[in-house]
Amino acid sequence: MNQRPLNTAYEHMTNNQLAAAAYAYVGNELESLRIQAAVPRKTYSMLDARFVGALERIHFASHAWAGDYWRLESFYAADILKMAYAYIKNEMNNPDQHIEALASGKRLIAAHLEALKEVCQAHGIDYKTVLKRNHITENVDLVVGVDLGHKVAVITALESILSNDE
């Protein structure tokens, strides 16, 4: 019978890496126990505060990002409905205006996803897990491009949340 401790796979990881792994395995009791067994203890009764803080920052950053993502999706859906309404009412005076609004929405959404992907990679957080936990499927149309200003703003915001190591 294998007598290796549960935490062997995680004992070489930093608190930030352990927090990213814990986020990826929320809901998996066995892996959660393995990760928690590797978390340094200041006493024998509590998890290290840096680990807890890092995990909370990952949760907060992913929820903040997802809230903004769904806001962008709702604006995009509203633009589609405006265009459809104008078409149905035969009031489509400037079709290019509607097409540009849709393209702009797609560029913002693509930038939002690309920013998350970049920050997750930099912090060792599983990008697909963040999407899955927030009920988001990656369906990016990069043909219209990426709004670089928005991407930079999202990266800056996420980095600010994740690097706050107080």
Q: What is the pLDDT of residue 166?
A: 55
The DSSP letter of residue 143 is: G
Residue 116 lies in a domain: yes
Residue 69 lies in a domain: yes
Q: What is the pLDDT of residue 1?
A: 47
Residue 91 lies in a domain: yes
Q: What is the pLDDT of residue 76?
A: 94
60 and 161 Cβ atoms separated by less than 8 Å: yes
Residue 88 lies in a domain: yes
**3-class DSSP state of 90:** coil
Regions of the chain where pLDDT drops below 70: 1-7, 43-44, 141-142, 165-166
Residue 139 lies in a domain: yes
Q: What is the pLDDT of residue 165?
A: 67
Residue 98 lies in a domain: yes
Q: What is the pLDDT of residue 6?
A: 59
Full residue range of the structural domain in which residue 72 is found: 57-163
Residue 9 lies in a domain: no
Question: Rounded to an integer, what distance in angstroms lies between the CA atom of residue 98 and that of residue 109?
Answer: 17
Q: Round the CA-based radius of gyration of the chain to a whole number and report it.
A: 21
Q: What's the structural domain count of the chain?
A: 1
Residue 43 lies in a domain: no
